Amino acid sequence: MAYQRQLSHTCEKYSGIRNSGDTVLIKCCIIGDISFTRWCCKFDEEVNKCNNYNESPLKNGSENGHTEIVKMLFDKGADCNIYSDCSPVMKACMRGHTEIVEFLLDNRADCDDNDKGVDCNTCDRFDEYPLTYACIGGHTEIVQMLLDGWSPLLNACKHVHTEIVRLLIDKGTDCNKYDWTQQSPLFYACTHGHAEIVQIFLDDNRYDLNCQSHLINACIKLLYKNSKVVVRQSGRL
């Protein structure tokens, strides 16, 4: 009951800011209150219920830069494609919330089969794309991510998500896709000292080692120097 009173008090203060038929969850997403958002999600507040302007909790969380709340909503099944004028990814691009854009792009897998995936090729009602908003705002890193298509595999390698790397490769993800700096997933795994991930690539015959063999060898030496872990080299090297 004490929690409900606190929540009621927070929403009462918020009501002076705007009155758009916002749900309690939307208010929490705008304010950025993580604990109250978690409470709403726990007690089955509808994560896709919109306000009078068809603005969803996810759209408001993305627009206001609340990364943890965006992730929380996504875990509860929030739909990226419910919006009136601008989608969540468009709002994040417009405001320069790089981490949220990255997260939404990483979770767009199988867009054709999953209606919760982020579609970066969809225009808003003004016929503008997410890339347009990122350019207008001068958000260079976001522009580059959108141009690259931002590979989840590259990101998983950078952040040591070994099981995700293995899962993505097992599902047929392109192992040879480079980012805008012309670096491969294996390069990031090496330079960040992730020996187990490096071994996954070396053991997979789909990974093309020939075009960058000199760089790959240098990376493996760097990995050994940084982590003191001996990587079992493939016979292909």
Where the chain has pLDDT below 70, the residues are 1-19, 44-45, 108-123, 147-152, 179-181, 208-237
CA-derived radius of gyration, the chain: 21
Question: Scanning the structure block, which residue is given the tokens 């120097």?
Answer: 225
Please report the pLDDT score of residue 69 as a whole number: 96
Task: Give the C-alpha distances (Å, rounded to integers) separating 49 from 46, 83, 142, 162, 215.
Answer: 5, 11, 28, 35, 50
205: nearest Cα among 168, 153, 169: 169
**Contacts for 18 with CB less than 8 Å, ≥ 6 apart:** none
- Per-domain residue ranges for the chain? 2-148, 152-227
Chain CA centroid to CA 33, Å: 20
| CATH code assigned to 152-227 | 1.25.40.20
DSSP structural state of residue 78: -
Please report the pLDDT score of residue 24 as a whole number: 87
Q: What is the model's pTM? A: 0.60
| CATH code assigned to 2-148 | 1.25.40.20
- pLDDT tens figures, 178-213: 766 677 787 777 777 777 888 888 777 777 666 555
- Name the token pair of 129: 């794309």
Please report the pLDDT score of residue 1 as a whole number: 47
Rounded distance, CA 87 to CA 101, Å?
Answer: 11
Question: Is the fold of 2-148 the same as that of 152-227?
Answer: yes
- Name the token pair of 121: 């090729």
Please report the pLDDT score of residue 180 as a whole number: 63
What stretch of H or E contains 216?
helix 213-227
Please report the pLDDT score of residue 223 as a whole number: 60
